[in-house]
Structure 1
């Protein structure tokens, strides 16, 4: 099976379930997600924004981030973001370097 065979509403539902899951896991810091998987909440917001660009209601960067974070990005950072350690930043840099370009 390839992604063309998957119902787009089901795919969207899975995306929002991931967003809801991350909403319950504010302890999972973006730098840790980046270090492990090479993406974070900001990436998801960027992908959401890009996906809406061709539609009738494109989202701004701030609107996409609020949809992903469940609140304005600055409020999320104030309440949940912890300072990144040098080790976390190194893992993040190494992980992001393995991402495909484009």
Structure 2
């Protein structure tokens, strides 16, 4: 199985996820990168104090074993997910 490294990039820094991920495919790396971006947008991250939910100018990158960036997920894509999640949560809330 190939190894992938994940990075969160902002204007001022590029932070590597603490460990490499042994994943079966690029599609699996894509799913993990999307999950990380969602967590960052939702403000649930405690990773190195990296709380970037207040803005959308970040990307999550995945690099293969050779160090080449094989996918990039812009944080602004996750804002639509967050808005939809909040709308669903409000819609599914029981009424008093």
Q: Which of the pair is proportionally richer in helix?
A: 1
Q: Which has the higher contact order (CA 8 A, sep 6+)?
A: 1
Fold match (TM-score > 0.5): no
Q: Which of the pair is proportionally richer in strand?
A: 2
